[in-house]
Amino acid sequence: MLRQFKELFRKELKILLRDRQTILLLFFMPAALIFFLSLAVGGMQADVLIGRKIQTVVENQAQSPKANLLEKKIKSHKLIERKVRPAGMDNDRLFESSKVQAVVVIPRGFDEGDSPVEVYFDPVIDAGYKAAVLSMLTSLTVEVVMGIDNLDAVVANMIVEKTKPNREFPNPLEQTVPGFAIFAMFFIAIPMSIIFLKEKRDGTLPRLFTYPVNANLVTLAKLAPYYIINIFQFILMLLIGVYIMPYFINFSLQWGEHPWHLLPITLIVAAATTGFGVLVASLARTPEQSSTLAALGAVLMGAFGGIMVPYFFMPLVMKKLAMLSPVYWAHQAYLDVFLRGAAFSVILPKLAVLTGFAIICFYLAGRKVKWM
């Protein structure tokens, strides 16, 4: 039986490797998505995770000692990136250029207390950053007016933050590497279903089942190459995320506290994606139908599962709908390892859902087509 499996496996692998363009695409597509979307999401999430500097024009009309001190404090603050107003450009044009988010004016009469500091914001600036800038300006102005060196240090002993670090919020690599690796693994359904349909149409499968070979052994040998490719897909994407992407983005992907948990997760996710491919092969009647079904199914599961739009950005209704997608459970299982350092008992329910999905796919495919 082992020899029969070996020969059947070799035959299937040769057929699969003939289509080198498709195999390369299965590896190139997730790598490209991880690279470009990590860069894109990195810029957006950097604002939330590590903060960004607010591009600000500071105009000191008073030129008095206190005004000069306030101007110096504002310009040197870590939240501010100083910008210079181009000649002849008013605030509206400044904000339209998207090069400035705030304008701070220290008017004449500031030292005498006759004129307050004026602040103008870009109308589309995030409310959180607007509040942060106002708070910072208030603090610095109080320091200058009351002669306090560092107001933050004065109140530091009065207010102590006890909030635990938020580890529910993945950085760009933690989001994209496992996410798009899973997404690409579901695309194995395209070459799998096309080859199955081709062998069924040209009579290869019916002839194969006339030999004294166990039908289950034939099925297992046909599925094994795709299963192995899916595992190698994830391993390659993981290595890219851990060792290559940090050179291009100011974030890193860590193995987590229990990296060995990645093995059972990947084995079960590969089974789920292979089961999806078998189901597509059983439902489609032509290669065109199989390609459409596989691509549409993968995209929808990715969109609902928190890959296209990060799960933590979704509204509550979408978060509940995400649980219908196997991609969600797979992605959350990986985040449990990379992000949360979860025990295996926490990951196990997610693996049970994925195992159930794989069993349902294989069962439906087996009922749908006799030759499986």
Pick from 60, 59, 128, 126: nearest CA to 94: 59
Q: Is residue 166 predicted with pLDDT exceeding 60? A: no
Strand pairing report for 54-60 and 118-121 = unpaired
Interatomic CA distance for residues 246 and 160, integer angstroms: 33
CA separation for the pair 296, 314 (Å, rounded): 21
Lowest pLDDT segment from 184-188, 267-271, 357-361? 184-188
Interatomic CA distance for residues 269 and 274, integer angstroms: 9
pLDDT bracket for residue 276 (50, 70, 90):
very high
**Mean local confidence (pLDDT), 348-367:** 92
Residue 116 has pLDDT above 60, yes or no: yes
Q: How confident is the model at residue 27 (pLDDT cuts 50, 70, 90)?
A: confident
Q: Detail the DSSP E strand segments found in 85-232.
A: 102-106, 118-121
pLDDT of 109: 86
146 band by pLDDT with thresholds 50, 70 and 90: confident
Condensed to tens digits (0 to 9), the pLDDT of residues 172-195 reads 888 899 999 999 999 988 888 888
Q: Is the pLDDT of residue 218 over 80?
A: no
Of the candidates 61, 349, 369, the residue with the CA atom closest to the CA atom of residue 222 = 369
Task: Give the separation between CA 45 and CA 49, rounded to whole angstroms.
Answer: 6
- pLDDT band with cut points at 50, 70 and 90 for residue 169: confident
CB atoms within 10 A of CB 71: 20
Q: Which domains does the chain have, with CATH numbers?
A: 2-47+168-368 (no CATH), 52-155 (3.40.1710.10)
Which whole-number Å values give the CA distances from 79 to 45, 51, 54, 135, 237, in the listed order? 16, 8, 6, 11, 35
Cα separation, 107 vs 74, in Å, equals: 15
pLDDT tens-digit map of 281-314? 888 888 888 889 998 999 999 999 988 888 877 8
- Report which of 80, 76, 91, 86 is spatially closest to residue 56, judged by C-alpha positions: 80
Higher pLDDT: 21 or 179? It is 179
CA distances (Å), 131 to each of 56, 81, 135, 261, in order?
A: 14, 17, 6, 42
Supply the pLDDT for residue 240: 93
Quick: pLDDT tens for 83-97. 988 888 888 888 888
Instruction: Report residue 154's pLDDT band, with 50, 70 and 90 as the boundaries.
Output: low
Q: What is the mean pLDDT of the chain?
A: 84
Summarize the confidence of residues 309-320 as an average pLDDT: 84
| Residues 6+ positions from 45 with CB-CB distance below 8 Å | 171, 172, 175
C-alpha–C-alpha distance, residues 327 and 305, integer Å: 5
- Categorize the per-residue pLDDT at 113 as very low, low, confident or very high, splitting at 50, 70 and 90: confident
In the prediction, which pLDDT does 54 show?
Answer: 85
pLDDT digits (tens, 9 = 90+) for 32-48: 888 888 877 665 555 54
What residue type is assigned to position 366 of the chain? G
Find the helix packing angle between 262-283 and 326-335, rounded to 10°: 170
